[in-house]
A and B are shown apart, each in its own frame.
Chain A
Amino acid sequence: MLCIEVRRRLSCHLDGELSSAAQQEIFAHMTFCTACREDWELLRFGKQLCQSSRQTINPPARFAVSVLQAIRTQKNQRLMLWSHLGAMAERLLPAFAMLIILCLGFLFLTGDPAEVHRAGQDNRDLFIPPEEEVLLIARQIDITTDHVIKTVLEGR
């Protein structure tokens, strides 16, 4: 048997899952292969170390009761947290309502933003340059001569 095969089977050997023939083969290999024997001894030592550390911890008499108490305390803490949050929400409710009313009022006063934008566009269309405005005024009061217009413009 090759070293690689022996090492692959060492874990199964440690669990006592190999047939007696396979065990014999492994032992035969280990009589002349020091490296595999050292691996085997270290594995065995590791397992023995684990087994030697095995302890049975006896639960204290009131362990279950203390667990339930801890659960109740935690539950109460959660309930208290929720009640705190509820009380805070109750106190903040009028302020929140006021804020919503203010927001709605602001929106109502300013109107629909799209409409406001459109209105701005319309106002820009209605803009009349000053020269045209003078002409319009002149027409309204029936003064049509260039001289008068010039005078009016200079006067401005």
Chain B
Amino acid sequence: MVVSNDEDRNMIKQSQAGDEVAFESLVRKYQQVVLNLVYHFTGGRADMTEDVAQKVFIKLYLSLPKFKVNRPFFPWLYRITANQCYDELRKIKRNRVLTFTELRADDHAAQDRLMNMHRLPPENGEHERLAQLLAKLMDTLPKQYRTALVLRDIEELPYEEIGAVFRCSVQAARLKVFRARLQMRRALRKLLKPVDADQMAECGTEGAGEKIYALYRG
């Protein structure tokens, strides 16, 4: 988590005045954060991460004159990043071309192929399979729940920060995360075969994700 401070304020002020060197420093400071965020918001689409991150910084540069320096910078950057990512995902969905053979409802392999056609080709590791499963689950969630889950469970932001991103109270941020988790659970239940809770509990905590996934897949 990067905390905005006086150094940030100075860089923002100078960038607003048209200083490209100051803006470059700002980009250097936040590039890793933005790249990680983009990667997670787009559901692990590594091929588009860099392009989208670049667009985020261009958008940031263009809207910097409107930014009030006394306000926290980080939540604003988060919002710009999230909006840009969802715009890109919408574009991908809009431009997706379906063929008649791929449209058959019973052909799940073709549907999976279509859903993941903009992701990197999967490798044969458990980690990749889990990442694909998560991406599929995230695709079923509404925008704000997806953001809430990324911020809380992937980026591990405190609820105060999540509230600042959503421009709501801490309590409302908690509620959003709670609802997002419930929806995720519902989607998981639909997607995977039901397994006995005892079997799941036996998986323990260390590497439980992989074990439960293996149980579900049979």
Contact = CB atoms under 8 A, between A and B. Distances in A.
A71 B58 CA distance: 6
B185 interface: yes
Interface stretch (A59-67, A89-97, A141-149): A59-67
Interface residues of B, number: 48
A46 B31 contact: no
Contacts of A55: 36, 39-40, 44
Contacts of B23: 68, 71
Contact of A11 (B57, B154, B178, B200): B178
User: B-side binding surface: helix, strand, loop or mixed?
Assistant: helix
User: A-side binding surface: helix, strand, loop or mixed?
Assistant: helix
A93 B54 CA distance: 40
B7 interface: no
A14 interface: yes
Interface of B: 20, 23-24, 27-28, 31-32, 35-36, 38-40, 44, 46, 49-50, 53-54, 57-58, 61, 127, 130-131, 133-134, 137, 149-150, 153-154, 174, 177-178, 181, 184-185, 188-189, 197-198, 200-201, 208-210, 212-213
A57 B27 contact: no
Interface residues of A, number: 35
Interface stretch (A35-43, A109-117, A124-132): A35-43
A63 B2 CA distance: 19
Contacts of B184: 46
Given A56-B36, A68-B23, 14 more contacts: A41-B197, A42-B185, A45-B209, A46-B188, A48-B208, A50-B134, A55-B36, A55-B39, A57-B35, A59-B32, A63-B31, A63-B35, A68-B24, A74-B58
